[in-house]
C-alpha cells in the first residue's frame, strides 16, 4: 500500500503500518471512527481496500480536520491554492515560510497549514505554550511539488468524497456518540513523550482518564483498536494498558529507528496494537505469531509471546 495518496505529511502517521492494522478489521463494519485522526492514514487505507463505506474523522486540532475536509470535498480549489502559494516562495523560501506561518497563526486558515506541513522539518508540527505553530522550515527542500500534491489530494478525494464526517471533538465526546457497529481506531498522542502537554502535539491526554474511557467502551461491548505504547531495544515508552480491559495486545515491528541508525546501533522500534474483546470475538481467526524474515518491514507477536 505504499502507493496510497498522502497529501498531509504528519509526524506519527500510521501509513506504513496500515497494512498490518487493516488485518484486524472485521467484516460488515458500519463506520470507521478515527478518534485521533492525524493524517487520517487508516481511513485512507481502509477506503482504498474497500473495507468501509462511511468514516468519521476526528482530531482535536481544528485546522487539521478542516484541512482534511478540504482535501476530501474541495480538492481542485485546495490544489490550486497550494500551487499558487508554493510558487510564491521563490526567491526567498525561508522568509516566505515564516510569513505564511505568521498568517496561519493569525487566521488558522487550513489551506496555509497544508503548505506549512509540506515545508516544515520532517512534517513535524510544534506548538508553543499559547498553542501557536512554531516549527521551522526544512532548509534542504522546498516541500512537495504542486503536481505531486495535486495528485495526492485528488487521490484522497476519490476515496473519501461524500463518505466522511469531520469533527474536532474531545475523544470522550466522540466515544459518547459512537454506535454499536462502528469500528473505532485510536492513535492517541504517544504516551512515551507526552503527558497533558507537549510541544509535539496540539494536546496531550491523561493515561488514567484514557483507561477510564476505555473501560466504558469495553462495558458497551464496542469494537476498537488502539495504537499506544512502544519500545526501542530494551527501552520502553509508556505504560501497558491494564489487563482488566481484557484486550489482546500485539507487538508490531515498525522498523529500525533513524536515531539508532545515526548512532550505529541495531535497535528496532516496536509499537503495541490493542484489540478489544468485542473485536477479537468477531474475527474469524485468532491473532498468532507472525515471524517475518529479517528483510521484511514488520513482524507480529501475540500476547503470549511478550
Q: Please state the domain extents for the chain.
A: 71-155
pLDDT higher than threshold 70 for residue 42: yes
- Range name among 41-45, 205-209, 293-297 with the lowest pLDDT average: 293-297
Rg (the chain; Cα; Å):
19
- Range name among 50-59, 71-80, 98-107, 124-133 with the lowest pLDDT average: 124-133
Enumerate the β-bridge partners of residue 32.
55, 183
Across the chain, mean pLDDT equals 86
Sequence-distant (≥ 6) Cβ neighbours of residue 164 within 8 angstroms: 43, 54, 55, 56, 57, 69, 72
Residue 24: count of CB within 10 angstroms of its CB: 20
Cβ atoms of residues 248 and 301 within 8 Å = no
SS3 percent helix, strand, coil of the chain, rounded to 5, is 40, 20, 45
| 110-166 pLDDT tens trace | 999 999 999 998 778 889 989 899 999 999 889 999 999 999 999 999 999 999 999
Q: What is the pLDDT of residue 190?
A: 66
In the numeric block, which cell numbers belong to residue 22?
487493516
pLDDT higher than threshold 70 for residue 19: yes
Enumerate the β-bridge partners of residue 250.
273
pTM: 0.87
Range 163-174 average pLDDT: 98
* φ and ψ at residue 24, rounded to 5 degrees: -100, 15
pLDDT higher than threshold 80 for residue 58: yes
pLDDT higher than threshold 90 for residue 184: yes
pLDDT higher than threshold 50 for residue 264: yes
> What whole-number distance in Å separates Cα of residue 63 and Cα of residue 280?
35
Q: Which of 83, 119, 122 is nearest to 100 (CA)?
A: 119
> What whole-number distance in Å separates Cα of residue 104 and Cα of residue 293?
46
Q: Which class is domain 71-155?
A: mainly alpha
Instruction: Using pLDDT thresholds of 50, 70 and 90, give the confidence band for residue 262.
Output: very low
Does residue 121 or residue 84 have the better pLDDT?
84
37 sits in the region (left: phi over 0; alpha: psi -120 to 50; else beta) called alpha
Does residue 159 or residue 238 have the better pLDDT?
159
Does residue 145 or residue 259 have the better pLDDT?
145
Residue 61: count of CB within 10 angstroms of its CB: 22
In the numeric block, which cell numbers belong to residue 268?
528496532
Enumerate the β-bridge partners of residue 167.
58
Q: What is the pLDDT of residue 48?
A: 96
Q: What is the pLDDT of residue 81?
A: 98
Max alpha carbon distance in the chain (Å)?
59
Enumerate the β-bridge partners of residue 224.
184
> What whole-number distance in Å separates Cα of residue 15 and Cα of residue 37?
12
97 HSE (CA, 13 A, CB side): 19
> What whole-number distance in Å separates Cα of residue 112 and Cα of residue 116?
6
* Residue length of the chain: 306
Q: Measure CA of the first residue to CA of the last residue in the chain; give whole Å.
A: 28
> What whole-number distance in Å separates Cα of residue 168 and Cα of residue 150?
25
Cβ atoms of residues 35 and 28 within 8 Å = no
Amino acid at each position: 500500500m505504499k502507493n496510497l495518496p498522502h497529501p498531509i505529511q504528519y509526524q506519527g502517521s500510521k501509513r506504513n503500518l496500515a497494512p498490518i492494522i487493516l488485518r484486524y478489521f472485521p467484516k460488515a463494519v458500519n463506520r470507521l471512527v478515527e478518534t485521533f485522526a492525524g493524517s487520517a492514514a487508516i481511513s485512507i487505507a481502509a477506503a482504498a481496500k474497500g473495507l468501509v463505506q462511511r468514516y468519521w474523522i476526528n482530531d482535536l486540532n481544528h485546522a487539521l480536520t478542516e484541512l482534511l475536509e478540504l482535501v476530501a470535498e474541495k480538492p481542485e480549489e485546495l490544489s490550486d491554492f497550494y500551487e499558487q502559494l508554493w510558487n510564491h516562495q521563490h526567491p526567498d523560501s525561508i522568509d516566505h515560510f515564516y510569513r505564511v506561518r505568521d498568517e496561519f497563526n493569525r487566521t488558522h486558515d487550513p489551506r496555509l497549514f497544508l503548505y506549512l506541513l509540506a515545508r516544515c522539518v520532517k512534517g513535524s508540527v510544534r506548538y508553543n505554550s499559547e498553542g501557536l505553530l512554531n516549527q521551522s522550515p526544512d532548509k534542504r527542500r522546498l516541500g512537495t511539488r504542486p503536481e505531486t500534491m495535486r495528485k495526492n489530494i485528488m487521490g484522497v478525494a476519490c476515496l473519501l468524497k461524500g463518505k466522511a464526517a469531520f469533527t474536532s471533538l474531545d475523544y470522550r465526546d466522540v466515544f459518547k456518540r459512537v454506535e454499536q457497529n462502528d469500528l473505532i481506531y485510536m492513535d492517541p498522542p504517544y504516551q512515551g513523550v507526552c503527558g497533558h502537554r507537549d510541544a509535539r502535539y496540539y494536546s496531550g491526554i491523561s493515561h488514567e482518564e484514557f483507561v477510564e474511557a476505555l473501560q466504558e467502551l469495553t462495558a458497551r461491548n464496542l469494537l476498537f483498536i488502539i495504537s499506544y505504547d512502544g519500545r526501542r531495544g530494551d527501552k520502553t515508552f509508556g505504560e501497558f494498558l491494564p489487563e482488566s480491559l481484557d484486550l489482546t495486545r500485539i507487538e508490531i515491528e515498525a522498523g529500525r529507528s533513524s536515531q539508532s541508525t545515526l548512532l550505529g546501533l541495531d535497535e528496532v522500534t516496536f509499537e503495541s496494537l490493542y484489540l478489544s474483546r468485542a473485536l477479537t470475538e468477531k474475527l474469524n481467526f485468532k491473532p498468532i505469531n507472525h515471524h517475518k524474515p529479517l528483510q521484511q518491514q514488520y513482524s507480529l507477536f501475540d500476547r503470549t509471546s511478550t
